[in-house]
Amino acid sequence: MNKKVLITGASRGIGEAIARKLAKEHYDLYLTCLHSEEKLHTLATYLEKEYNVSVGAFLCDMSSCKEVDRLFRHIPSLDVLINNAGISYIGLLSEMSPDAWRQVLDTNLSSLFYTSRNAVPLMLKNHRGKIINISSVWGSCGASMEVAYSASKGGVNSFTKALAKELAPSGIQVNAVACGFINTEMNLCYSEDERRSLIEEIPADRMGNTAEVADMVYSVLSMPSYATGQIFTIDGGWR
């Protein structure tokens, strides 16, 4: 029987790449997105036909506790949870509205609480499970003009380490993958000059791609059970 995995924010970018990788590795998938319902269903249909796996596609606002609770009514069992959904905000902190601040924190950090509180009881039934949170290098060093995003990812890292300690006696691993400068739509907000400037600071001399992040996630999934509470970084040697 195939293992079951929930991937949030799976209609594009890193989430889509992870979905493709895990379908290829014979995982049954539950996928979510916030806006791109048609694109998500197209992806789900393709993965089902290409890899002969079961794929459920759901529109869900991961920043909403009620919507996440409703999502889990469709998930009777779960082996892996991958918290990928996230948004960014670039601008001066002094010009950021409280609503925008809350939206970044709720989407990037509170969503981990909403999904984990539902997923953990399902994993406890089998005394095993894996949770992987997609984080960012900005979570440990911070980024100018991205205070809310940096704060949320710093929270993701602390959440990961604390929950790992809580769940280790139950055989559930909790880790994070902290991404550097990855070629996604989220990073299209940077100008060409800004992108070149960032790449100049990366020893690998290029942006990462989403398939590489997906491979990293699969590597973390394949690690021994003793590996938990870790923040694994993929950034081309930047840090």
Indicate which residues carry an active-site annotation: 149
Q: Are 97 and 47 in contact (CB under 8 A)?
A: no
d(CA 138, CA 16) in angstroms, rounded, equals 22
Closest of 192, 213, 206, 212 to residue 238, by C-alpha? 206
Q: Are 131 and 172 in contact (CB under 8 A)?
A: yes
For the beta sheet containing 172-179, the strands, ordered from the edge strand earlier in sequence to the opposite edge, are: 55-59, 28-33, 4-7, 80-83, 129-136, 172-179, 231-234
Q: What angle do CA 58, 150, 186 make, to 5 degrees?
A: 50
Q: Are 27 and 197 in contact (CB under 8 A)?
A: no
Closest of 81, 80, 58, 52 to residue 71, by C-alpha? 58
Sign of the dihedral through C-alpha 165, 169, 170, 171: positive
Any residues with CB less than 8 A from the CB of 144 and at least 6 apart, and which? none
Distances (CA, A) of 144 to 42, 93, 141, 147: 37, 9, 10, 7
